[in-house]
Structure formats: structure tokens, C-alpha cells
Amino acid sequence: MALRGCLRAGRALLRAAGPPARGVCAAARPPAFGFLFDVDGVLVRGSQPVPAARRAFQRLADGSGRLRVPVVFLTNAGNCLRSDKAQELSRALEMQPPPTTGFPTIEGVILFGEPVRWETSLQLIIDVLLSNGNPGAEPQAVPYPHLPILACNMDLLWMAEAKMPRFGHGTFLLCLEDIYKKVTGRELKYEALIGKPSTVTYRYAEYLIKQQAEKQGWKAPIRHLYAVGDNPMSDVYGANLYNNYLKSAQQNQVRAGGKRNPQAASPQTEDYLELRKDCNSSVESCYSILVCTGVYRHDNGVPSKTEQCTTEAVFHGHRDFCFDPSLVEASYIVQDVNDAVQLAFKKENWS
């Protein structure tokens, strides 16, 4: 159930490119890294592109407009169709339309994104939970455990054209949880929490990165992922959490004599086993890069990581994720996505 929720709600849009360019760099050394790009606050704000985004993708593409490295768009936004999101990104970034991946059908109570009319939606969801899925009948007793719930976006805030962040689906979930507890005296339970910062979402994004590299004929194993985002509590937290998973899996592999046993690496083992039966990963690190064009802002230049930690003392993450200050400390902090791409190219010695 949790994996199927990830496959539909992770919203990782696969940007496919044509055959690699015949330039010296691409032909001589296939890329051993890939990018996971957040969308809102990194590439666009509302309907307007971030100016640095187009410059960044000019660096990522060759002279024919084809990508030189694998790229996945990893966003929690679930308020439109995948095809519509792909067309929106294509127009904003002035690139060829990115195709989207297909996902299985999900059964259950699924919360994708914040609704337009919160009061009505909150009332209807509470009605369904209290009636065990039959809101037309008067319940004799409050069922508990209630119907299974999948939540696919935990972002408390997100960035649009407005100067200040907007309430996200995480705020809607907070209201739903408090109302349910106020009415019933019990905690709302989730079957699964999907999307950033959930680890299974990054596992699937890694799978798409490798799938894209294989499709383009790039033989080098993908060693590093660069997750670029604007929200410390979802983008940075999720990338760091996945980096911890990768390190734990590597240590477990050493202890097992070179044979990886993923069961010691993550509590969501069944999801990973269902996603990829071999569970082998060449990726060694997932670096978190925080940009200052979205939810996270700094008016006096790019702050140090120490400054970032002191400003992120309030935990905006979901109640079911523990607060660890180290998880919201980005590997790197840059001004915008173009700087993020340049940083990754420099680290990879990629021109």
C-alpha cells in the first residue's frame, strides 16, 4: 500500500533526453551523478520561472537541447495532473516537454494536496472516518482504528508569487489531525506518509535516475545524487534522511561481507523490496543543496550552515517525523538553482 502511494504521489517527473551529444565530455566520461530538483521555490514561483532556472538548464543541456546528466523533478505538489505539470515546467524552463511515468491505481483514503475549500473537505473527511466509509448512515459508535489514510504531501509551507510562504498540505493535515482528536479523543493514524521527506520517495527517484541513465546508454554507475530544494523541513530533511539510509546500507554491506542486506538499513524494507527485488544501489551519497529563492530566504547573501541551524530551531515538519537538527542542515547553501548546478559540476569535475 505504502509503495503504491509513493509511485503515484511522489510526483517524480522523469525528464527524458535524446541520445547523448557527441562532444568530448559526454562521450569520454558518462555522468556518474544525477539531480533531484524540487519545483516550487527552486524552478518556479507560482506560474513564474525563477530566472536562474533557465540558466541552470542551459548548463545541463548540450548544444542540441539534450540533457547531459540524468534529472528527476521531485515535488510534493499534487494539485494538478502529471501531464499538466510537465507542460508547465516545459514552458517555464523553455525545454522539450518532459514525459511522465505511469503509476498503478491506489485504493484507500488518499490525501494528495490542500483543497480549495478547507472547511468542506475537513467535514467530509471526518464524516467518512467517523462512519467507517458510510457517511449517509448515522454511526452507532466511532470506529477505531479508522479507515486507512495515505497522505502524499507533508509540506507545512510552500512558495508561490507572494512575498511570504503559503500554507501547504501539511497545514491541512495539521487541522485534520487536531479536529479528529478533538472530536474523538484519539490520534489520527496514517497507513503511510508519502512524498518528501519520506525515504521511499527518494529510493524511487534514485530508481528513475538510473533508469534514465540506462536509457541514454550512459554506462558509468551513478554514485552521487544532488537534491536541490528550498524547504529545509522537506527537501533538506528528506535528502539527509536518505543519505543516512545510504550510509547505513553501505555499513551493513561491509558487515555482511560485501552482500547488502537492506533489512538493517530502513524500517520501510518491504517497500524497497517491492520496488526493486535486487535492492542493489551504486549510489554512495545524496547531497542536500538549499537555495534561497523559495521558503528559505536570506537577505544578506548566502548564510553559513551554522546560521541556518540557528534559524531553523522551530520544527515545521510533520508530527510523525522526529526533529533532528542535523537533518535540516544542508550539505551546501547557495543562492539559486544555477549556483547549485555549478557546485555539483565542480564537485564532479564536470564541464
7-41: per-residue pLDDT in tens? 333 333 333 334 433 333 444 589 999 999 999 99
Whether 92 and 212 map to the same domain: the answer is yes
Residue 257 inside a domain? The answer is no
Residue 343 inside a domain? The answer is no
Q: What is the mean pLDDT of each run of 10 residues along the chain (351 residues)?
A: 35 37 51 94 88 91 86 80 78 70 51 88 92 83 92 90 90 96 96 91 94 92 96 94 92 67 42 47 94 81 54 77 90 96 95 77
Residue 321 inside a domain? The answer is no
Whether 204 and 283 map to the same domain: the answer is yes
Residue 303 inside a domain? The answer is no
User: What is the residue range of 19's domain?
Assistant: 1-37+71-106+194-244+262-287
Closest CA to 337 of 297, 267, 295, 290: 290
Whether 179 and 209 map to the same domain: the answer is no
Distance (Å) of CA 131 to CA 112, 144, 187, 321: 21, 10, 16, 28
Q: Give the pLDDT confidence score for residue 265 in this predicted structure.
A: 42
Q: Give the pLDDT confidence score for residue 97 in this predicted structure.
A: 62
Whether 33 and 133 map to the same domain: the answer is no
Residue 81 inside a domain? The answer is yes
Q: Give the pLDDT confidence score for residue 103 in this predicted structure.
A: 44
What DSSP character marks residue 40? B
Closest CA to 330 of 246, 239, 242, 248: 239
Whether 270 and 167 map to the same domain: the answer is no
Residue 115 inside a domain? The answer is yes
Whether 134 and 266 map to the same domain: the answer is no
Q: How many helices (H) and strands (E) does the chain have?
A: 11, 13
Residue 278 inside a domain? The answer is yes
Whether 219 and 177 map to the same domain: the answer is no
Q: Give the pLDDT confidence score for residue 273 in this predicted structure.
A: 44
Whether 130 and 222 map to the same domain: the answer is no
Angle between helices 337-347 and 51-60 (to 10 degrees): 30
Q: Give the pLDDT confidence score for residue 299 in this predicted structure.
A: 58
Residue 209 inside a domain? The answer is yes
Rounded Cα–Cα distance for residues 160 and 48 (Å) = 9
Whether 101 and 125 map to the same domain: the answer is no
> How many domains, in total, are found in the chain?
2
Whether 3 and 92 map to the same domain: the answer is yes
Q: Give the pLDDT confidence score for residue 280 in this predicted structure.
A: 63
Q: Give the pLDDT confidence score for residue 293 in this predicted structure.
A: 94
Q: Give the pLDDT confidence score for residue 19 in this predicted structure.
A: 41
Q: Which distant-in-sequence residues (6+ apart) come within 8 Å of 81 by Cβ?
A: none
Q: Give the pLDDT confidence score for residue 140 in this predicted structure.
A: 82
Whether 170 and 124 map to the same domain: the answer is yes
Query: Could you tell me the CATH number of the domain that includes residue 120?
Result: 3.40.50.1000
Whether 100 and 214 map to the same domain: the answer is yes
